[in-house]
Amino acid sequence: MPWLALPFAINLVANVIFTPIQFGMRNLPLAAVDIPIVWGTIICIMVAIWKHYRWVAVAQVPYLVWVSIATMLQLSITWMNR
């Protein structure tokens, strides 16, 4: 399953750079671009892994819920501060 490495790597990088973008640089528009990338890669990973290891896909649900909440929060903050 080496094809899973790309969305996982994108997720990892986007997740790691979110905090410096949001809180270090205080760049709300860039953070609003970054967080949906994190969310989308979680979905991609879940869909790709589903037929092979369903339990791994299901185990991602709490992470997906948390990132969904964080995405809505980030987009709301960005919208209110435009």
Share of the chain above pLDDT 70, in %: 99
pLDDT higher than 80, residue 71: yes
Q: How far apart are CA 75 and CA 82, in angstroms?
A: 11
- Residue 12's domain spans which residues? 2-80
Residue 4: its pLDDT value, please? 76
Give the span between the Cα atoms of 32 and 20, in whole angstroms.
Answer: 13
Q: For a pLDDT cut of 90, what percent of the chain falls above it? A: 90
Domain count, the chain: 1
Return d(Cα 43, Cα 21) in angstroms, integer.
Answer: 22
Q: What is the pTM of this model?
A: 0.89
Q: Is the pLDDT of residue 7 over 70?
A: yes
Cβ atoms within 10 Å of 46's Cβ, excluding its own = 19
Q: What is the pLDDT of residues 25-57, one digit of tens each?
A: 999 999 999 999 999 999 999 999 998 999 999
| Gap between the Cα atoms of 76 and 8, Å rounded | 26
